[in-house]
Chains A and B, each alone.
Chain A
């Protein structure tokens, strides 16, 4: 790890003023320090926002919905009875990520902005496309954990579990920069490799996530998050799925289905949603929707096995939300 300077931000404005160039924000620091230890990120200065007051609230308002401060930890999301009761998919996404120790430190802001886990990206031995090199080593290499959709340029999967759930829940981000605040739908925040292979989202260099908002859910909405890793402890998903179903009687009126660990961005699968909307939710429609969810997948040499797993998880998640 290179030597670096450590600074403490007192307020959001203070943090924003110190950011940019070779200064980088540190929240929980899990992702950032991992990259620094491997020598793939070499910031000259860390701006610690962990002690900025007022960024760790969880509140709900009937009109505006759920408000999360960026410093809310995954452990807090998992433990909050409010989140668990009303936004179950988010509580489960947070609660099944990583390990208890990591969840105690990991913040939701950092979780959304963490860099990909592609093993070529994470190793200083490989100077790949995403790091400014000229090849993607995964396409013809060891790609068992890589993307099965949108994988023509760079085959990372988006690593954030909370993003999978939050996109399905229609979350929006509040970003604060030198010019003030802006809001963006989380779904539109992520950037595909085709657009810019060097980044995964559109946050500005001097912008901070200052809130995550989930719009109010209509009565009877159910949300489910399912994760399948090779192991249950200390492991990433090979597939994860969030399903949000709004219903009127037995009929599904609105569905939101998102695949995580499938593509470079959390992937909303509209064909699957359409297969449910206006229909009764049962084994048969779940099966049709699940098969629609994986239609058009373009697996690489070693990750074809992920397709049936996604199909299974989507079907099981729909049935669990029914």
Chain B
């Protein structure tokens, strides 16, 4: 059942007539309900909008556009601000340290907090004695958690013996927190909390957890409620032991066909088993909040990707009205998907603030961060692909297992389901519970893993068919964007010089590889913006949307400036605060595509109001006025006799009131969605994003060191708003991809279940010397779905990197890497075992 269908099923629950009133016929109630539920179709106008890829194929297509939408924007080449390389409007604040992040917030009387966490991976808590901590002179409050957020929960609670405190299911699970007048005192007092544990059997290895008789993480089926913006698998899935699944359908339902039949039709079958590791988000800024509980309401400064989702979760936990909770994220130091909810730390800090009657700051340290705030699940994927001699794919079959620890959502099937045309696709994704920290959405959940398998096997297929890997993709990939990206990238990287596998003499061998991405066009319709103009000519934009580093603050300034004929620096931006109109959570690569159309629509409305008021002074009507370069004028050449103009400032001074304002929300995509989830205002847009990356590597076959020397990343994201910020995003995605492919690995001690590298020294992340030459190329793709036609880039930019590196390593050495990270240990083993470990070719 698709999410859209599920939604219908719940909203159509039978209505019962209120008692004490005359009975109303049931059918009439149903009718009325239906009418109320069904939003009237907005009146539309037919409009021609630009469509296609600049430099390849451009045309105009007709779309039904709601009447309150502004006219279509011309191509970027005809615009002044949008599509130009605009330095971040807050860049100076950031590099000078003036920008205040959550960790910098200092409120009068603020206390500092520290969590008490479990050292055991699985245990029952016998008792918690807080008396020694309470006796500490500087301690002001202690709180013990009665519910752990993030872990999956048993469907049937009676399957487990009742417990006074939550069962510990992973080492690092938060238990309590202490607030004191200094951080040192809080750290000290947290150690004074005496917890008596009854350790229980545990399993942290996914393969072992799948075995019959493995210690159970949950004594019955369990579900994890995904937090806003992603993470968590579907609910209600069948479960046996620790294995939950298989799930056979994706966001578009179950893929078509009958793979057995497909494999019978195949002339060639390739297959392999691929393994990926657990990666932690490791954002530079750790998770944390400053919670300030007051009788009239709660204010929380939070390092979050979703001011709105944190507000909603805290309102629910503390039984407050949403209007009583204010969440502020002025500047944010990275999230990657793990920062949507209030988190255990957020709940704890709020409890402590409530108890102590003072603001409480709780920032996690790096160890907490690695252990308890989310990760990218690992995977073992058996992938099999069948094809005809001409390359046509006849069957794709994926069986994957992954552990999201105590959470769910370790599926990897996205790329297999969506990248290539194939009439028979079957994907079976299973989650395996282990006693390890719960996963969270992580930059394109499931996709870097899935791509690592799929894109290597497609290369292997090309080799078997004796065709160039790009030519094969041209044959089986229907995406126009990727076709163009392959062409541009191949030219830039000079693909034609690519040699046969392992052609270099000597110890160091070089190679070139390619891999590509597919990602969904997700839209959050709960994206609203207010734009204000004051008589002195100042313009302000207000929205709850938070800038998590991607640069949405600057993009919003550009869109408003373009519409009003101003410069981005003319716009004052107030964002990241739930006191403003609701903004989207920043995840799923949906921020820009969701909020910039709302911003343009609001700015357009504001412009109409202004023009209405100043038109008489320019002897015309509003529709004959234009605003550009800080001037309002009649739409005539300035040489014309009838030309009349005034500056934007002069126009503002004519306002009849001190301030005018306009507000707009994201409309549905022109032409609608594949499906729409009314409950959380989430739209699954038509079409997908692509992205193709080419990688050059050098492999030292004597030391096993893989060095990425150059990456050419060619991407699409609809209409680029700020190419400068987009390049930063792509650089970041590529670096995170390199880091994932070669270095990062959460290592749990197999004997104790504890993480041995919960720091940034032994949890290895690519650094300056691991950074290759990265060349980013953006194509401009217009789809005419909304008033800015902008899309997202965060996720596609990291999806194909690991796969492209693996393909390049194969080209260098003639040996396929079935496992990441490609550390010297793995590479030397693969080079030595080479053929033995090779996927079996049928």
Contact = CB atoms under 8 A, between A and B. Distances in A.
Interface of A: 1, 3, 117, 119-120, 123, 125-126, 137, 140-142, 144-145, 228, 230-235, 238, 302-303, 305, 308-309, 312-313
Contact of A125 (B704, B743, B754, B769): B754
B639 interface: no
A230 B824 contact: yes
A106 to B, nearest CB: 14
Contacts of B823: 230
A273 B705 CA distance: 27
A232 B770 contact: yes
B767 interface: yes
Contacts of B743: 230-231
Nearest to B824: A305
Given A234-B761, A305-B824, A305-B825, A120 B756 contact: yes
Given A123-B756, A231-B764, A142 B747 contact: yes
Contacts of A142: 747, 749-750, 756
Interface in B308-349: none
Contact of A238 (B750, B752, B768, B824): B824
Contacts of A235: 764, 767
B286 to A, nearest CB: 15
A1 B187 CA distance: 8
Interface string B114-155: 000001000000000000000000000000000000000000
B502 interface: no
B766 interface: yes
Contacts of B768: 233
B503 interface: no
Given A231-B767, A238-B824, A312 B703 contact: yes
Contacts of A308: 702-703, 828
Given A141-B751, A142-B756, A233 B767 contact: yes
Nearest to A144: B825
Q: Which of B749, B762, B768, B769 has the most CB of A within 10 A?
A: B749
8 contacts: A123-B754, A125-B754, A140-B751, A141-B756, A232-B769, A302-B825, A308-B703, A312-B507
A305 B829 contact: yes
Interface string B91-124: 0000000000000000000000000000100000
Contacts of A302: 825
Contact of B757 (A119, A140, A231, A238): A119
B184 interface: yes
A125 B119 contact: yes
Given A141-B752, A142-B756, A313-B703, 17 more contacts: A119-B762, A120-B756, A123-B758, A125-B752, A126-B752, A126-B754, A137-B751, A141-B751, A142-B750, A144-B825, A230-B743, A231-B764, A232-B769, A233-B767, A234-B767, A309-B703, A312-B507
Mostly, the A contact residues are: loop
Interface string B598-623: 00000000000000000000000000
A105 to B, nearest CB: 16
B769 A231 contact: yes
Contacts of B749: 120, 137, 141-142
A230 B171 CA distance: 27
Nearest to A316: B702
Q: Which of B751, B756, B767, B769 has the most CB of A within 10 A?
A: B756
A125 B761 CA distance: 17
Contacts of A312: 507, 702-703
A145 B745 CA distance: 14
A309 B769 contact: no
A299 B299 CA distance: 56
Interface in B747-801: 747, 749-752, 754, 756-758, 761-762, 764, 766-770
Contact of A228 (B119, B187, B703, B747): B703
Contacts of B187: 1
B184 A3 contact: yes
B679 to A, nearest CB: 42
Contacts of A228: 703, 705, 824
For the complex of A and B, the 4 pairs showing the least CB-CB separation, nearest first, are A233-B767, A232-B769, A305-B825, A233-B769
Interface in B720-751: 742-743, 747, 749-751
Interface in B542-598: none
A49 B769 CA distance: 33
A125 B825 CA distance: 27
A302 B743 CA distance: 16
A291 to B, nearest CB: 13
Nearest to A313: B703
Contacts of B769: 231-233
A260 to B, nearest CB: 15
Given A233-B770, A312-B703, A1 B184 contact: yes
A309 B767 contact: no
A35 B140 CA distance: 29
Contacts of B764: 230-231, 235
A312 B742 CA distance: 21
Nearest to B832: A308
Interface in B793-842: 823-825, 828-829
A215 to B, nearest CB: 32
Contacts of A119: 756-757, 762
Contacts of B824: 228, 230, 238, 305, 309
A312 to B, nearest CB: 4
Contact of B828 (A3, A125, A126, A305): A305
Interface in B670-706: 702-705
B750 A231 contact: no
A141 B751 CA distance: 7
Nearest to A303: B825
A238 B828 CA distance: 14
A138 to B, nearest CB: 9
Given A144-B825, A231-B743, A231-B766, A309 B751 contact: no
A308 B829 CA distance: 11
Contacts of A305: 704, 824-825, 828-829
A147 to B, nearest CB: 15
Q: Which of A3, A125, A141 has the most CB of B within 10 A?
A: A125
A156 to B, nearest CB: 14
A178 to B, nearest CB: 34
Nearest to A2: B188
Nearest to A145: B762
A231 B822 CA distance: 12
Nearest to B748: A142
A119 to B, nearest CB: 4
B752 A137 contact: yes
Contacts of A230: 705, 742-743, 764, 823-824
A39 to B, nearest CB: 8
A48 B134 CA distance: 35
A309 B824 CA distance: 9
Nearest to A119: B756
A305 B702 CA distance: 10
A62 to B, nearest CB: 38
Contacts of B184: 1, 3
A86 to B, nearest CB: 27
B346 to A, nearest CB: 25
Contacts of B757: 119
Contacts of A231: 743, 764, 766-767, 769-770
Nearest to B750: A141
Contacts of B756: 119-120, 123, 141-142
A23 B229 CA distance: 52
A142 B810 CA distance: 28
B233 to A, nearest CB: 29
Contacts of B705: 228, 230
Contacts of B825: 144, 302-303, 305
Contacts of B758: 123
Contacts of A144: 825
Contacts of A234: 761, 767
Contacts of B704: 305, 309
